[in-house]
Amino acid sequence: MQTFDLAEQGLRALNQTLHAQKDSTNQTAWDIVNAKGSHAIAVGLDAPIEVNVRGSTGYYCGGMNKQATVHIHGSAGPGVGENMMSGTIIIEGDASQYAGATGRGGLLVIKGNASSRCGISMKGIDIVVHGSIGHMSAFMAQSGNLVVLGDAGDALGDSLYEARLFVRGSVKSLGADCVKKEMRAEHLEILADLLERADADAKPEEFTRYGSARKLYNFHIDNASAY
């Protein structure tokens, strides 16, 4: 285990050190101490390493992640896992706004709650939230899966494309073109896999699936009021 003191060595040195790790590295486990809410911790990683962040983080922790596992032992500020491509990010606490925004792959696990716009414009990422999520989550989500064990706020899935949304609790309101959908066998299988990978104590049968009604794909005068 490599230990890096962020307070003593600084953010630039941390990210340069982590960026230097390659697929063949033997320094596969890193412990980041004295995070103290710093921004942009462990961004742009591209190696199969494990990074444990001891404490809460600021903006964009784990952004653009590829291959790495980033484990935040605290809460995360806005944009955690933004545009991540692969790998895993686990947050033991809560996540602020737009967690997993534009994510293209990988798995983002939030053990607490997520604020507004969770999964906005997601493009293939899988997000599992053990708690609840705020308003406008999955806005313009294109593909991937958003799993919520708690409740969802206003305008869930507004202007949704083909992402799948699974919510166990209540939904305050659905956004434009987002509707309740049938839970078929393939969806139960997808959900069971995600719950297991996220170490979530829930059964797939307890969830409701939401998806796109596909009425906003092309402009139609009868739908003008929904735009």
Given a contact cutoff of 8 angstroms between Cβ atoms, the answer to whether 117 and 136 are in contact is yes
Q: What is the pLDDT of residues 39-74, one digit of tens each?
A: 999 999 999 999 999 999 999 999 999 999 999 999
Q: 158 falls in which pLDDT band (50, 70, 90)? A: very high
Widest distance between CA atoms in the chain: 61
Both structure tokens of 142: 């294109």
Give the mean pLDDT of the chain: 95
Q: What domains does the chain contain, in order, with CATH numbers?
A: 2-219 (2.160.20.60)
pTM of the model: 0.94
* pLDDT at residue 216, as a whole number: 80
Q: 220 falls in which pLDDT band (50, 70, 90)? A: low
Q: Pairing mode, if any, of strands 164-167 and 178-181?
A: unpaired
Q: What is the pLDDT of residues 80-117, one digit of tens each?
A: 999 999 999 999 999 999 999 999 999 999 999 999 99
Q: 22 falls in which pLDDT band (50, 70, 90)? A: confident
Residue 223 clears pLDDT 90, i.e. is over it: no
Nearest alpha-carbon partner for 65 in 14, 9, 107: 107
Both structure tokens of 198: 């996220």
* pLDDT at residue 111, as a whole number: 98
Question: Tokens 């983002």 sit at which residue?
Answer: 108
Q: 26 falls in which pLDDT band (50, 70, 90)? A: confident
Residue 23 clears pLDDT 90, i.e. is over it: no
Residue 159 clears pLDDT 60, i.e. is over it: yes
Q: What is the pLDDT of residues 174-207, one digit of tens each?
A: 999 999 999 999 999 999 999 999 999 999 999 9
Helix (H), strand (E), coil (C) string for the chain = CEEEEHHHHCHHHHHHHHHCCCCCCCCCEEEEECCCCCCCCCCCCECCCEEEEECCECCCCCCCCECCEEEEECCECCCCCCCCCCCEEEECCCECCCCCCCCCCCEEEECCCECCCCCCCCEEEEEEECCCECCCCCCCCCEEEEEECCCECCCECCCCCCCEEEECCCECCECCCEEEECCCHHHHHHHHHHHHHCCCCCCHHHCEEEEECCCCCCCCHHHHHHC
Q: 218 falls in which pLDDT band (50, 70, 90)? A: low
- CA dist 49 and 47 (Å) reads 6
